[in-house]
Amino acid sequence: MTEQAFILAIDQGTTSSRAIVFNLTGAIVAVAQEEFRQIFPADGWVEHNPQDIWETTLKTAREALQEAEKQGGKIAAVGITNQRETTLLWDRQTGRTIGNAIVWQDRRTAERCRQLKEKGLEKFFIERTGLLLDPYFSGTKLAWMLDREPELRRRAEQGRLAFGTVDSFLLWQLTGGQVHATDATNASRTLLFNIHTQQWDEKLLELLNIPTPLLPEVKDCAADFGLTTKEIFDRPIPICGIAGDQQAAAIGQACFQPGMVKSTYGTGGFVLMNTGDKAVKSTNRLLTTVAYRLDGKTSYALEGSIFSAGSAVQWLRDALGLIDTAAQSEELAAGITTTAGVYMVPAFTGLGAPHWDPQARGALLGLSRDSGRAEIVRATLESISYQTADLLQGMASDSGIEIERLRVDGGMAANNWLMAFLAWILNLPGDRPVVTETTALGVAYLAGLQSGLFQNLDEIEQSWRRDNTFAPQLDTGERKQLLKGWHKALKRVLL
């Protein structure tokens, strides 16, 4: 019997590091996962210890590899997907990191962003990067690190330091400091990368005062990223694919045609629409980003996020005690036919696109003496569908592309009632795949493409398998009524 080829996907997330091994039909062979520490040094600051990131990654990767190889296959290639925008700095000589990683959620550079906006520079950043001037992205985080100590800037200018997002940091570690590179999707989240020319942008680097010698080389998503050193696994294995988590999920959902949309419902919700070779400029404050770059050809996406999705369900469970488990929300919502005008706006941490109001806070509206536990739970689930509807409307209007269906994944996609309601509110069919680990699968596909285990995107498209389709129902009158109520509720919380 010849040995089967497997692909190892490293999925370095915000709260845990995971490693998943896939076989060539896209089925999961082995999984390992480990959570790590979240560090909150001040209000609005979020950090990770780089050592924690690296150690949990290495441990889970080794565990998954061993488990998979016990099953008679061999890892032919490695892919990396990661929490995006999180920023690291290290010394090229010693490999030692400088301070902690500043996590994407960290708001410490809000003031810096405000100052840049006041100078009227946001338009300029949007034009070149597709992003908004928000602390979310890496650029101002890196500037903050360098501004803290003049000595660091000097070392950066001399080429002694390296900047990287998490993919780049892991690649450096896995290759024993041989490769300092990233992929186009991760680069497109830094606020330093021109998404049209696919180059680091000198003008943006100048505006943020970032020395060029810090920057990694930007490669395609499927590329030769080097070999793991012998000490990592028992032999060198080629690293062949990298993509940021949301882009990897879109690839795992095989969203390769313009107009295809994936929506991931975890703690937050992330919607990406493929817009093909066109970088669509948004008038709804959606982000324009790189979906993937293969063989030097860039495909773009529009992206929008829902800040509170699963976290709103956690709030029902932990703060209100209305449910014991997240899954219980399904039977409560399905047990009534309407919320009777109750709306929940889960703006716990403000509202994202297309509303963008960081100051907005949550509200529960339309309560009567008949409103109870089920109504509140159902209204919370409904709000996730309404927010998706607002995003999709923005995407359709920005791109001029009619959206035909939606591919769903993430922990909340297990909720059948929610998926059915979503299809109804969007008036679009929703497809749920068999493998909902789309992020890891996406980067396994990329690594498979580069190593010749998959020939092309068509082959990947064909290996995508549907678990269920949620079809829209027909009564549009009621649907419109519900959406109208939602928009009225939203108006009350927008400042």
Residues that bind ligand ADP (CB under 6 A): 266-267, 310-311, 313-314, 326-327, 329-330, 410-412, 414-415
Angstrom distances, CA of residue 457 to CA of 112, 244, 246, 255, 292? 41, 18, 18, 10, 12
Cα–Cα dist 215/93, whole Å: 15
Smallest gap, in angstroms, from Cβ of residue 273 to ligand ADP?
A: 20
- DSSP assignment of 317-349: HHTS-S-SSTTHHHHHHHTSS--TT-EEE--BT
Nearer to ligand ADP by Cβ, of 204 and 313: the residue is 313
439: left (phi over 0), alpha (psi -120 to 50) or beta: alpha
Please state the separation of Cα 110 from the chain's center in Å.
21
Across 333-415, the runs of DSSP E, i.e. the strands, are: 343-345, 363-365, 406-409
Smallest gap, in angstroms, from Cβ of residue 460 to ligand ADP?
A: 22
Smallest gap, in angstroms, from Cβ of residue 143 to ligand ADP?
A: 28
Nearer to ligand ADP by Cβ, of 36 and 172: the residue is 36
What residue spans of 253-372 are helical by DSSP H?
Answer: 310-318, 328-334
Q: Name the residue among 439, 460, 137 with its Cα closest to residue 265.
A: 439
Smallest gap, in angstroms, from Cβ of residue 345 to ligand ADP?
A: 18
Is residue 49 within 8 Å of residue 134, measured between CB atoms?
A: no
Cα–Cα dist 170/147, whole Å: 25
Nearer to ligand ADP by Cβ, of 23 and 314: the residue is 314
Q: Name the residue among 325, 456, 329, 431 with its Cα closest to residue 383.
A: 329
| Cα-Cα-Cα-Cα dihedral sign, residues 316, 322, 324, 327 | negative
Nearer to ligand ADP by Cβ, of 110 and 326: the residue is 326
Cα–Cα dist 307/490, whole Å: 15
Nearer to ligand ADP by Cβ, of 112 and 378: the residue is 378
Smallest gap, in angstroms, from Cβ of residue 265 to ligand ADP?
A: 7
State the amino acid at position 220 in one-letter form.
D
Query: Which residue in the shown chain puts its C-beta closest to ligand ADP?
Result: 411
Smallest gap, in angstroms, from Cβ of residue 69 to ligand ADP?
A: 27
Nearer to ligand ADP by Cβ, of 358 and 411: the residue is 411
Cα–Cα dist 287/301, whole Å: 8
Smallest gap, in angstroms, from Cβ of residue 328 to ligand ADP?
A: 8
Nearer to ligand ADP by Cβ, of 28 and 414: the residue is 414
**Residue 287 bridge partners (DSSP):** 303
Smallest gap, in angstroms, from Cβ of residue 156 to ligand ADP?
A: 33
Determine the 3-state secondary structure of 39 from DSSP.
Answer: strand
Smallest gap, in angstroms, from Cβ of residue 315 to ligand ADP?
A: 9
Smallest gap, in angstroms, from Cβ of residue 422 to ligand ADP?
A: 12
Nearer to ligand ADP by Cβ, of 37 and 487: the residue is 37
Determine the 3-state secondary structure of 401 from DSSP.
Answer: coil
